[in-house]
Structure 1
Amino acid sequence: MQSMESSPPETGDYVLDSYALLAYLEGEPGSRRVMELMEAARDGKCRLYMCVVNLGEVMHIVERGRGLPKAQETLARIDELPIEIVEVDRNLTLTAAHLKMNCPIAYADCFAAALAQTKNAALVTGDPEFHKLPPDCQVQIEWLGRDH
């Protein structure tokens, strides 16, 4: 599938990976686009999803870097966001496993890509790992820019 370089309208479905959510939470490059998507989701113009595996990845990164109290505070903040956290089921697991067999990316990243496939949604990320996805994997990626 084609990658999107520019910001499309905030309609449709989007999957956030850990990179996108951390960019938003930390005000890092790409945060402006994620903020636009959050506002659109609150207005009912789009839907945002995140796999629980990628939520775990975010929590691990925050707790490792800042400790458990900050991680708990961050989770409370995430729970207030207009993101549907999707639990892992057999279908999502098998889709992620198939991606892992064919794509040299981290297993947790495979869950974000698999969720994007199953939801027919654009995967929002700035993680260069996803450049390794072959075009035939049918994941539409919206690359986060270098804004602030």
Structure 2
Amino acid sequence: MEAVRKVGEERVVLDSWAVIAMINREPCWEIVRDTCYAAARAGVRFPMCTVNWCEVLYGVPRKLRGVAPEDVAELMRGLPIAVIDATEELSSRAAALKFEHSISLGDAYAAALAMALGVPLLTGDLEFRALEPGLAVHWLPRE
């Protein structure tokens, strides 16, 4: 857990799972919040693919009734996130991962971005275990 707390000082790709967990105040939410605070203080912005940004925008309102995607977008703009477009190259990488592994399309994009940038992925989504050791992961606790 200590390694995760130091992650705000380095570059990682944020998975939608981590951001949704923080917003919904799931068990690891404080770790993600503290990581974002540390990143903001250090001037670090976490890359996140537009596909994963979209997952957060629709995923949070599904769990929190009365919250609209626009509300989530406003909150997200205040986080230390650099939104990265799903380019043709990134899409090709994501497609290859999706073809080879039984993972969601959003997870394929998050993994493809982390691998392309050569940085770890911050998540608690166990679906990414299928991509280790080729994908470096900073694991968040699920409980």
**TM class by smaller structure:** 0.7 to 0.9
* 2:85 corresponds to which of 79, 84, 87: 87
Report the Cα offset of residue 65 of structure 1.
4.2
Report the Cα offset of residue 12 of structure 1.
2.1
Give distance in 1, aligned partners of 2:5 and 2:33.
14
Counterpart residue identity of residue 82, structure 1: P
- Quick check: 2:22–2:28 contact (8 Å CA) kept in 1? yes
Judging changes above 3 Å, is the alpha-carbon distance between structure 1 residues 145 and 66 closer, same or farther for their aligned structure 2 residues?
closer
1:94-136 Cα shifts (integer Å, max 9, x gaps): 111111122111111000001101121110111121122242x
Report the Cα offset of residue 6 of structure 1.
4.2
- Structure 2: tracts of 5 or more residues without a match: none
Match of 1:26 in 2: 24
TM-score normalised to structure 1 length: 0.84
Match of 2:116 in 1: 118
Give distance in 2, aligned partners of 1:108 and 1:121.
17
RMSD over aligned CA atoms reads 2.2
- Quick check: 2:15–2:122 contact (8 Å CA) kept in 1? yes
- Asked if residue 7 in structure 1 is aligned to residue 4 in structure 2, the reply is yes
Instruction: Name the one with the larger strand percent.
Output: 1
Give distance in 1, aligned partners of 2:63 and 2:132.
32
Give distance in 2, aligned partners of 1:46 and 1:113.
20
Report the Cα offset of residue 45 of structure 1.
5.7
> Whose relative contact order is higher, 1 or 2, with alpha carbons under 8 Å and at least 6 apart?
1
Give distance in 1, aligned partners of 2:102 and 2:140.
21
- The DSSP-based 3-state class of the residue aligned with 1:50 is strand
Judging changes above 3 Å, is the alpha-carbon distance between structure 1 residues 62 and 36 closer, same or farther for their aligned structure 2 residues?
closer
Judging changes above 3 Å, is the alpha-carbon distance between structure 1 residues 97 and 40 closer, same or farther for their aligned structure 2 residues?
same
Give distance in 2, aligned partners of 1:39 and 1:30.
15
Report runs of 4+ in structure 1 exceeding 4 Å deviation. Answer: 65-69
Judging changes above 3 Å, is the alpha-carbon distance between structure 1 residues 62 and 47 closer, same or farther for their aligned structure 2 residues?
closer
Give distance in 2, aligned partners of 1:66 and 1:7.
26
